[in-house]
Amino acid sequence: MQALQVIDGSVLEGGGQILRNSISLSALLGKPIDIRKVRNGRKPPGLKNQHRTGIELAAEIASATLTGATNGSSTVSFAPKQITPGNYTADPVTAGAATLLLQISLPILLFAPSTTASTLTLKGGTNATNAPQIDYIQHIFLPFARRHFGLNVDVDVRRRGYFPKGGGEVHVTVFPGVEGAKLTAASVLERGAITRIGGIAHVAGLPAHLAKTMADSAIARLAASGFTPDAAVPVPVEIASTREKNENTVGGGSGVVLWAELAGGGMIGGSAVGSKQKDAVGVGEEAANELIKGLEAGGCVDEWLEDQIIIFMALAEGTCEVRCGKHGLTLHTQTAIWVAEQLTDAKFDITVQDSGHTIIRCRGIGYTP
């Protein structure tokens, strides 16, 4: 067994991301860790239901000895043994984000020693604030990760879950590569033209016309900013509007996720979640404004994709390089890099171009089980 490594959970953004990335890397590398001052940057600090559920899921997959995994705990010890492929279920019994359960478990299962797929049944919130919506994972993160890292993952949303009732259900199929396969190194430096803008506006437990209103308002906002099929260089804009069947949701809710596909292989997203305080027009405009902001920043990835790919850059073989926007690296991205460098031999190099764009380069460890 390797020596215990202590991770300071209060560093930089001091939230749940340190927990998720540290546990994933611990499981893959067989490194026992203590995470102290868990979520020290949050009020209240310590584990919440969804964090505990995610750690317990990772412990089950990695046959880990786990201590301190109780709600409110500020110290967690995780000692992995062996990653076992299989069929796993996790349920925070709240509106806790199913996508955050995926973030902690996906890197582990990608390298399960098997030639057959593993499955995850993840329950909770599918479309919540303070976490990627499941549609972001389906239409932005996974297409990017498939193209540039070679991930082979399918996501099927069986039931949507909104705050505060949750109750969503997502089925994930993780196909491992052949034994000994490594993640490919992503090189995404050239942005190229916007080739398409896609999106989905969804409602559940609410009138169907609200979804169309959100989609139409997003299209109108994009058109006002010059992203329109009538522009000199036409950009197809296709935003679907859907209403979930009553039996496919618990409670009501709504949301919008938009994405811009770039010729150079990049993806930029924008999203918004509905609430009683927002009208449908405002929700559509909010998502469009976020997409416009990401496009105007000039990177090949948006600020959310930017931090989610760091762990895969660290695990990949060779040198990854990704052009980010002019906003500078987010605290989440800086934190993900810090965790990766604490637990792996990956080396990151951050440069800011004269144009203001930030380039992340990483010499990955070429991880194999």
Structure confidence by residue, pLDDT tens digits, 236-284: 899 999 998 887 777 789 999 999 999 999 999 999 999 888 999 999 9
Average pLDDT over residues 166-180: 83
List, in sequence order, every residue forming a beta bridge with 201; answer none if it has no partner. 241, 256
- Where are the extended beta strands (E) located within 210-266? 237-243, 249-250, 253-262
> How far apart are alpha carbons 94 and 164 in whole angstroms?
7
Is the Cβ–Cβ distance between 191 and 210 less than 8 Å? no
Which conformational region is residue 63 in: left (phi greater than 0), alpha (psi within -120 to 50 degrees), or beta? left
Q: Could you give the percent of the chain with pLDDT greater than 90?
A: 81
CATH topology of domain 85-180: UDP-n-acetylglucosamine1-carboxyvinyl-transferase; Chain (3.65.10)
Q: Which residues belong to the annotated binding site for ATP? A: 103
Q: Where are the domains of the chain?
A: 1-83, 85-180, 182-189+299-369, 192-297
Nearest to 38 by CA among 23, 57, 60: 23
pLDDT category of residue 14 using cuts at 50, 70 and 90: confident
Domain 192-297 is in which class?
Answer: alpha beta
Q: Which amino acid is at 331?
A: L
Mean pLDDT score across all residues of the chain: 93
Q: What is the pLDDT of residue 88?
A: 98
Question: Residue 293: CA atoms inside 13 Å, Cβ hemisphere, count?
Answer: 12
The count of other CB atoms within 10 Å of the CB of residue 179 is: 11
Q: How far apart are CA 83 and CA 126, in angstroms?
A: 26
What Å distances lie between residue 186 and 103, 137, 176, 322, CA to CA? 19, 18, 18, 7
What is the chain's length? 369
Q: Grade residue 231 by pLDDT with cuts at 50, 70 and 90.
A: low
The region of weakest confidence among 108-112, 227-231, 296-300 is 227-231
Cβ-based neighbour number of residue 197 at 10 Å? 25
- 78/110 Cα distance (integer angstroms): 19
* pLDDT confidence of residue 166: 86
Find out whether 337 and 349 touch, Cβ atoms under 8 Å. no
pLDDT per position as a tens digit, 320-350: 999 999 989 999 999 999 999 999 999 999 9
- From the options 3.30.70.520, 3.40.50.800, 3.30.559.10, 3.30.110.150, give the CATH code of 1-83: 3.30.110.150
Q: Which residues are catalytic?
A: 332
Q: What is the pLDDT of residue 243?
A: 94
Name the pTM for this structure.
Answer: 0.94
Q: pLDDT category, 229, cuts 50, 70, 90?
A: low
CA separation for the pair 332, 126 (Å, rounded): 21
